[in-house]
Structure 1
């Protein structure tokens, strides 16, 4: 829920998030059941968002869904703010070389946002898809990024985790995860040992700037029926080479810095 004092824009964006979170067109009655706002307030937000084309309304079904304006904004964000366009050729090369599932992710409000993916030659059914949000505390890419955050940012990110137990291997409290993050930082890569989904394992590395700040993370994912973590660890050099190449290209990408300077000088 939007914090007190954040105003109507934050509240409207929260409603937009709730609609998008259903993953399907949703009726007003469903939103009202899950809303912290009175009926009239919720309806006003929905009308405003629909009028701005951030939501679309189907009068025949009486449902709301994300609007086409969001598609345009999402495309702009993908091009201007995500690592995906920079990383694309590197992901293609790594995927072709290894033939395994490759993920590219970034942290978003303490959670993992998958920004790109390459399927294995023999695809594996799993939760992660480009555009989906997942937990940071029990995924390889999430732990790889958390391990390299400065302490203040790490503490903030840990406060935003749900600590839900997905499997019997899931870390469910900050203290135990912190121990794992120290081990990840020491060896340079993380694992997902069936912590989010049974049978799904991965090795992941952070994508770092030259100063050591995590920009994102890269992973190779497989299943326990096809391989083991010990075998996957042998892929660490190839994964590290790709992560470093993406990090170098990202630092050479001057667009965000140029835009920031232009904004400040406006």
Structure 2
């Protein structure tokens, strides 16, 4: 059952878009209706409006709906303007080349992980994370690392939104285990994924912080237990920290493009 927002018509329409996207394939109206909180006439009206606005695309032969091309254009603009990806891309490419492993770039989307970019190792490994995917925060290196450094008044709110589904024998099983892990990450300065989300997948993750300590996102070096171990990944922490610092510096320069010019001219 989809969740109904309290944001009026726009919020409800976005819920329908989310529902279509969540199927991950072309979907029939009857399938949407089976999972929708809206009555049939209301859902049909939303679907027709979204299709007319090119936010959904309709295939008359298959009688199915998919996210529309207008969404693709908006998503591309959001990727360029609202994510760290364009700024961080050269840095994570260089890091992946140096360490020979996959590098992820992520940001928090409410209490969950949004993977915004990924550079594969020379010998890539099949894994869940792909740019644009949402993942759990409590059992991923980037997720836990971001949670560890967000403002204290947000931590408990984010913990309350975790599902604590057990993916592997190493998955953290509840709020207290996560709180303890977050304390360790804050002390250490970086986090790990110890096969907590996917068997055989491990990583070390570093937060990307502003000068004031605000969390912009996180990066990770990811490998498999077949070709590396946590100690081997931890050896990459200096490079990971240097990369995170460089990304943070570039974010600041991008946010304040005239900063250096004003200083030079006394403005």
Query: How many residue pairs were aligned?
Result: 257
Which of 2, 5, 10 matches 2:4? 2
Question: Unpaired segments of 5 or more residues in structure 1?
Answer: 258-266
> Which residue is equivalent to 1:12?
13
Which residue number in structure 1 is paired with residue 206 of structure 2? 205
* Aligned position for 1:224: 225
| Cα distance in structure 1, aligned partners of 2:256 and 2:114 | 21
State the 1:172 CA deviation.
2.4
Query: Which consecutive residues of structure 2, in runs of 5 or more, have no partner in the other structure?
Result: 259-267
- The answer as to whether partners of 1:80 and 1:256 remain within 8 angstroms in 2 is no
Kept in 2: contact 1:25–1:64 (CA 8 A): yes
Higher deviation after alignment, 247-256 or 12-21 = 247-256
TM-score by length of structure 2 reads 0.93
CA distance in 2, matches of 1:23, 1:255: 38
1:2 deviation in Å?
Answer: 2.6
Partners of 1:146 and 1:181 within 8 A in 2? yes
1:141-188 Cα deviation digits (max 9, x unpaired): 000100001122112211221111111111121111000000001000
Corresponding position of 1:130: 131
In 1, are the aligned partners of 2:4 and 2:37 still within 8 Å (CA)?
Answer: no
**CA shift for structure 1 position 120:** 0.7
Alpha-carbon distance between aligned partners in 1 of 2:41 and 2:103, rounded to the nearest angstrom: 46
- TM-score for the superposition, normalised by structure 1: 0.94
Confirm or deny that 1:27 pairs with 2:28. Answer: yes
The corresponding residue for 2:112 is 111
Root-mean-square deviation over aligned CA pairs: 1.5
For 2:19 and 2:159, locate their aligned partners in 1 and report how far apart those are by CA, in whole Å.
Answer: 22
Instruction: Give, in whole Å, the separation in 2 of the partners of 1:256 and 1:172.
Output: 44
Contact 2:209 2:216 in 1 (8 A): yes
Identify the residue that residue 164 of structure 2 maps to in structure 1. Answer: 163
What CA distance in whole angstroms lies between the structure 2 residues aligned with 1:179 and 1:43? Answer: 47
Question: Residue deviations 1:172-231, cap 9 Å, x none?
Answer: 211110000000010001000000000000000000000111100000000011111011
The question of whether the paired residues in 1 share the 8 Å contact of 2:195 and 2:202 is answered with yes
Q: What is residue 139 of structure 1 aligned with on the other side?
A: 140
> 2:164·2:174 contact (CA, 8 Å) conserved in 1?
yes
Matches within 5 A, 1:31-180: 31-180=32-181
Alignment check: 8 A CA contact 2:84 2:116 kept: yes
Q: In structure 2, what is the Cα distance between the partners aligned to 1:186 and 1:87?
A: 25
Per-residue CA deviation, residues 18-65 of structure 1 (Å, 9 max, x unaligned), is 101111111111111111111111111101111111000001101000
